[in-house]
Structure 1
């Protein structure tokens, strides 16, 4: 499995600033409200100290009542301000998370298909669910808490200094140990949490692939092997979580022990200097109460610092997806009067449609070559069938022609330019690959078709369905508005293939590569669909990976692949007369 990259600290800092800058007004409101709530919270300890001094000076009940009433007003004001501050903070957080999810989906869809396949479903699933959720929690809950706690602590310690500078200095005695252990923790937390996220992704991948291949696992009696594989991944997750737990087991006890030290020191020093008239009893009491009040924001600040490390590590993983090459955007389309379907924007000359393969060699990862020096030229408007036994490299060649993978040696060019060097949006507009694996998205039939051409009208969509022989759509209860997918109408494999072909008709690329695109259809329906599709895409270049030799019979030329090598190339009649590998396949096909 190929791991997607992780953004570095500089990228994370810039992205965090941008996230806050996109909603400056909301951030300002949250800060103002929390600041006002923190200031209102400072009044109660100071007023309580005043009460102590009033009582010590022989003040009457009226003065105490006035001060007590003032404390009640300040507590009420603090509660109201905190409530509206949290409300505004959560609204900001939810908007920020929504934007983050949208940006993540856009970046994911822009990734090269080959990279997504190598990364695996577990990696992307973990980043899109666990990591995005963790970042959401950080933005919605952690960031406001850190801002609030920092503001409160600054005001509380400032208030102690205002009571008396000596008490302020004594109040700082617990901070050195907190600072030291926090610094120690932060240096180790990021790599530890990144390792935990990577281990979680591998576990998700293991569980997902096992669940998806459950029937195969059962048929081949691979249950014990898959359990052992999953147990190993669980062990990796447990090891990484133990590592982060070890960091927390040092961090939190040291912090907790540092809370009581300044309170004891203030009471001790205050008791020592109070008889000398340097401070009053009320000031000592107020300082101790301020320090006691500081425990809560300090505790929240340090606790959420741990969560912030998780959030920053997850943010780095989420942003890492965006560091892959930009795949551009989907092409705009305009109406085509000829077919009643969208036409690609702009025109492409015949020379620019020539697809040429020169000396192409390809291997997966570090494995052996599966294609060996392929030489092939596909003429514009030609119908080329690629045939051969299973494992000959037909689908691999289709991926190279579509620009999904690049050859290890040699070049695959379109109009004289390497296909993989074309801007992704242009490549998608000019070349389309359809395989036998199709996905029906949750949504209406119209939504599923609009993926290929967002501006297509209902008539154009119906024409595309009719073009591929998808007669079943006329029986749908709500027509194009019929809901498809889980919990709604389920399409059969054959219907899903025709839906995919209808998308292809709407996209209307200049070169179509069909990798067993009608494999799920019965022979009669497949034949009818192929003929209907051929009529619609007349004049386009069509390359068909043929598992049924009737497709090869109708093609202008046939290319025969054997063991990754192009062994024969010519028309159907010429290859049958040559009595070679294709002729043997043809005789076998017809019994």
Structure 2
């Protein structure tokens, strides 16, 4: 067959655009087996109902074959009334069971799709936080949206239809073999063409569809990053460069789209040719068999009709198997997170106190490129520590290590003598919380948004938490109170109100240690001052490590830790460090100019 050259591989895209793994064949097969095992009863019922429908559909060819046989034998009693009655009953049974097949198939598909979505969500939220932070926005977005959408049709249609097609084809081949064994050989004549075409196609299709999906992820990543960083792009006049990048990503993606379309344009004529060859061989060889006396005219009639009926299940199998190739790529991307090994956790590791210590910590996002170098830090319970330093000094990275988001490459970060990296994530979150400028309001009621932090909280606890952050005023003014729908499609909350909900969750969760990464830096000054007063109430009595991008945040801290080039260069109070005349004093002077 004449081929075309697939799009040139570019190491920057699209295949390397993902940061989360794509599941290997073994992972995909294991998940599919598990999914079918969960729904084996529904799957068995679907096959049984389909078998009845197919059997009823074969009554017509047999009745017509008997009628032709009687006519060829010169019989004058054709029993047309009985034949028509049997045909009507068979047609009614077929109609009823075909409807049941469609209903059962749709229900089975929706159940499997629901399981897939739930499995992906459960597995995603169980991933180590560091893995999710490193994942690209476009890759995550394309998996949650595009890949799930592609799988939706496969789960609703492809899996049930493939089961129907295989049962249908198997029963028809069995009936053809029993009715007219010589005609079954005609299937072997058309089979080589079909096998050759399918082998050619399916050797190329999986890789092409993977590249197509990765190309779309690269497009989504480029567009999402451009939108998110729109102001920065304008400030640095990077618009043309970002447009050029998006154009290149779209060009690569559409090249793979054209390639997969070309593959299908070769496969479909092969399928049509197989159908024509099968029917022609049945009629030509069957006629010769009749002339030789190896078949009767009635058997040829029945066999020809059964062979013609094979066209539909074969087309069904190949059509949906092709769709399944596309779905398989999306499924591999969704179940790929199963190949991420969870960070080792020991249920026996429990903190024996509230002191936080970092000892000889080294950490880097990429192999061989450490961001932090031999960092040592001792945070005593109830103290307020401010991390300051120039941009890129490693402040936020150190904060995430202290919060247990990342594990150090070497060295240890402990809470009460227990290593955070060895402690279960849920236990870490009960003791330590990271609060940054990012806040999210989930779709649902105000009550549901608050109960995320503590599911057993009653209304009194929820109102107390809102009051602690000065949010009870506007919350009580809502017509439905805690039952008010917020988030997308509901009440639009201001950034300050959304952050107050986040702080109220913090009050409900009640961790004794907080890592603050400028939780109010994205708000306007008036809202920021109001929230800082609310935050002060939340911080009372807790251990606080504040990553200070504004030096007024550090002024009142008990201890100020200065980081430079990934190392701790100074520690002490504000007055001590100003008097020392070092890096902090220089920052303080430049900030006051």
Alignment-derived partner of residue 421 in structure 1? 422
Choose from 531, 552, 556 the match for 1:554: 556
CA distance in 1, matches of 2:76, 2:226: 78
Choose from 542, 545, 553 the match for 2:544: 542
State whether structure 2 residue 139 is matched by structure 1 residue 123.
yes
Would you say the 8 A contact 1:361–1:369 is kept in 2?
Answer: yes
Choose from 224, 229, 243 the match for 1:227: 243
Q: 1:314 to 1:524 in 2, by over 3 A?
A: closer
Shift of 1:58: 3.2
Larger mean CA deviation between 284-293 and 174-183 belongs to 174-183
Choose from 196, 209, 214 the match for 2:212: 196
Number of aligned residue pairs: give it: 575
CA distance in 1, matches of 2:183, 2:369: 75
Counting only pairs closer than 5 Å after superposition, residues 153-164 of structure 1 correspond to structure 2 as: 153-164=169-180
State whether structure 2 residue 59 is matched by structure 1 residue 35.
no
Shift of 1:312: 1.8
Q: Name the SS of the counterpart of 1:322 in structure 2.
A: helix
Would you say the 8 A contact 2:108–2:156 is kept in 1?
Answer: yes
State whether structure 2 residue 227 is matched by structure 1 residue 211.
yes
CA distance in 1, matches of 2:491, 2:415: 40
Q: 1:522 to 1:63 in 2, by over 3 A?
A: closer
Shift of 1:530: 4.5
State whether structure 2 residue 110 is matched by structure 1 residue 109.
no
Alignment-derived partner of residue 313 in structure 1? 329
Q: 1:537 to 1:378 in 2, by over 3 A?
A: same
State whether structure 2 residue 569 is matched by structure 1 residue 567.
yes
Q: Name the SS of the counterpart of 1:10 in structure 2.
A: helix
Q: 1:357 to 1:17 in 2, by over 3 A?
A: same
CA distance in 1, matches of 2:545, 2:289: 93
Would you say the 8 A contact 2:351–2:417 is kept in 1?
Answer: no
TM-score w.r.t. the length of structure 2 is 0.89
CA distance in 1, matches of 2:470, 2:564: 33
State whether structure 2 residue 282 is matched by structure 1 residue 266.
yes
Shift of 1:60: 4.0
CA distance in 2, matches of 1:214, 1:524: 25
Counting only pairs closer than 5 Å after superposition, residues 319-468 of structure 1 correspond to structure 2 as: 319-326=335-342, 348-350=351-353, 353-365=354-366, 369-468=370-469
CA distance in 2, matches of 1:168, 1:144: 27
State whether structure 2 residue 23 is matched by structure 1 residue 7.
yes
Shift of 1:290: 0.9
Q: 1:569 to 1:10 in 2, by over 3 A?
A: same
CA distance in 2, matches of 1:521, 1:253: 61
Choose from 62, 70, 79 the match for 1:54: 70
Q: Name the SS of the counterpart of 2:79 in structure 1.
A: helix
Counting only pairs closer than 5 Å after superposition, residues 520-539 of structure 1 correspond to structure 2 as: 520=522, 526=528, 529-530=531-532, 533-539=535-541
State whether structure 2 residue 498 is matched by structure 1 residue 488.
no
State whether structure 2 residue 166 is matched by structure 1 residue 150.
yes
Q: 1:468 to 1:579 in 2, by over 3 A?
A: farther
Shift of 1:277: 2.8
Larger mean CA deviation between 543-552 and 522-531 belongs to 522-531
Choose from 308, 311, 318 the match for 1:295: 311
CA distance in 1, matches of 2:530, 2:154: 55
CA distance in 2, matches of 1:589, 1:210: 31
CA distance in 1, matches of 2:564, 2:581: 16
Alignment-derived partner of residue 9 in structure 2? none
Would you say the 8 A contact 1:110–1:327 is kept in 2?
Answer: no
Q: Name the SS of the counterpart of 1:453 in structure 2.
A: coil
Would you say the 8 A contact 1:6–1:317 is kept in 2?
Answer: yes
CA shift digits 1:21-63 (9 cap, x unpaired): 2223222221111110011111111111111122223344751
State whether structure 2 residue 28 is matched by structure 1 residue 26.
no
Alignment-derived partner of residue 341 in structure 1? none
CA distance in 2, matches of 1:183, 1:147: 21
Would you say the 8 A contact 1:43–1:74 is kept in 2?
Answer: yes
Shift of 1:521: 5.2
State whether structure 2 residue 68 is matched by structure 1 residue 67.
no
Would you say the 8 A contact 2:108–2:160 is kept in 1?
Answer: no
CA distance in 2, matches of 1:391, 1:278: 87
Shift of 1:280: 1.3
TM-score w.r.t. the length of structure 1 is 0.90
CA shift digits 1:436-491 (9 cap, x unpaired): 12122222222221222222222212222222233433333322222222333222
CA distance in 2, matches of 1:497, 1:315: 36
Q: 1:22 to 1:399 in 2, by over 3 A?
A: same
Would you say the 8 A contact 2:70–2:78 is kept in 1?
Answer: no
Shift of 1:423: 2.0
Q: Name the SS of the counterpart of 1:100 in structure 2.
A: helix
Q: Name the SS of the counterpart of 2:58 in structure 1.
A: helix
Would you say the 8 A contact 1:505–1:537 is kept in 2?
Answer: no
Q: Name the SS of the counterpart of 1:569 in structure 2.
A: strand
- Note the residue ranges of structure 1 that are not aligned, 5 or more in a row: 332-345
CA shift digits 1:143-192 (9 cap, x unpaired): 22111111121121222222222122234321232123323333333222
Choose from 495, 499, 502 the match for 1:500: 502
Q: Name the SS of the counterpart of 1:4 in structure 2.
A: coil
